[in-house]
Amino acid sequence: MGESQRNTHKVNLMPTLTKRTLLTAALAAPALAIAQPTRPRGPFWPGGARLAVGVCMMFEADGGQPAMWQQGPPGTPQAAQRFPNLPMIQARTYGAKEGIPRLLDMLDRVGCRVSSFMIGESIQRYPDLAREIVARGHEAGGRAIRHAPQFFMPKEQERDFLREGFEALRTATGLWPKGFNAQGLQGSVNTNDLLQELGLIYSIDDRTRDEPWIQKVNGDRDFCLVPYIGHVNDLNFFQNQQRSLSDYEQTLKQEFEVLYEEGATRRRMMSVPLHDFVAGRPAVLPSVERFLRWAGGHPGVWFARRDEIAEWALGPGRALTPVDAPVIPR
């Protein structure tokens, strides 16, 4: 082969190698790093916390629940009559007599402050207990006067239903609530407008996400939704589904682990719902305490009251808080 042929061969080979090298490099490049949208960086929570854990303690003792009544046996003259459901009444009474005092002591041991949503009639029956909850540093959250449906109420009737419950809270504790919880999370199309008019800043009646978000109410006013996630609800586990304590603890830990991992790059919040007559029982309480101690052993965990979460989302953390229109048929 002559010199010119060898040179030609070298010249023709170089572009081939160059293209192959570029193609290999392109395939090896992290394409997702280019295509993936950037996420906003924190601080997502006060002090640069990685995950907010919001514990709710429901105060529902003798609160006029629909289950408090039962009808007479079918086919008898009493079939259409209502009679007190004594076992259900006693179960709710247990929450006030035993459950909440036991939960309060456990929360003191763990160093966790929670939001307690109190039914108006429960407060009226146990005003000293409502005051004790506040004295221990927990939030007094608002409920209606009774644990009853409100989704069908005309607006003015619903306003009175809410206000009466909030007045019961103020009479007992001197406090007006900042947040609200409806029976079964089932407010009406008017509820959040009414809450904002009554001076509240947030509701927990939302299952749409794992972080607080802002809904525009009464035109263009900010109102915060601080989600209440039901699948880790103690009531669902032990009363509705009859599941085991080990299932409960494992589900709480799995929920925490995923949210804690995501909390490195986006705002995340975990909801832990507790009921006075469920989590306050001797068999269940140790599972709750073990989980809270385990979760608190992770760096950057903020055990927050719901009012603290809402105030952060509406204030210093406003720029990172999603704002959505409600998806509600009118």
CB 125 within 8 A of CB 59: no
CB 104 within 8 A of CB 55: no
Residue with tokens 């939302």: 206
Q: What's the pLDDT band for 41 if we cut at 50, 70, 90?
A: low
* Residue spans of alpha helices (H) in the chain: 3-28, 31-35, 86-94, 100-110, 120-125, 127-135, 155-173, 191-197, 234-235, 245-262, 285-296, 306-314
The answer to whether the pTM exceeds 0.85 is: no
Alpha-carbon distance of 295 to 187, in angstroms, equals 32
Peptide bond into 87 cis (omega under 30): no
User: Mean pLDDT score of the chain, rounded to an integer?
Assistant: 85
Residue 152 CB contacts under 8 Å (≥ 6 apart), including other chains: 188
In this predicted structure, what is the pLDDT of residue 40? 46
Alpha-carbon distance of 294 to 102, in angstroms, equals 20
Closest to 155 in 3D by CA, of 202, 131, 182, 191:
191
CB 110 within 8 A of CB 93: no
Q: Is the pLDDT of residue 45 over 90?
A: yes
Query: Which letter does DSSP use for residue 92 in this model?
Result: H
How many C-beta neighbours within 10 Å does residue 86 have?
Answer: 10
Closest to 113 in 3D by CA, of 61, 52, 202, 174:
52
In this predicted structure, what is the pLDDT of residue 30? 45
In this predicted structure, what is the pLDDT of residue 19? 44
Alpha-carbon distance of 94 to 83, in angstroms, equals 20
Q: Is the pLDDT of residue 4 over 50?
A: no
Strands 221-225 and 213-217 turn out to be: antiparallel
CATH superfamily of domain region 50-60+91-324: Glycoside hydrolase/deacetylase (3.20.20.370)
How large is the greatest C-alpha to C-alpha distance in the chain, in angstroms? 117
221-247 exposure pattern, b = at least 16 Cβ within 10 A, e = fewer: ebbbbbbbbeebbbbbbbeeeeeeeee
Strands 323-324 and 213-217 turn out to be: parallel
Alpha-carbon distance of 118 to 146, in angstroms, equals 10
The model's pLDDT over 244-302, given as tens digits with 9 standing for 90+, comes to: 999 999 999 999 999 999 999 999 999 999 999 999 999 999 999 999 999 999 999 99
Q: What's the pLDDT band for 148 if we cut at 50, 70, 90?
A: confident
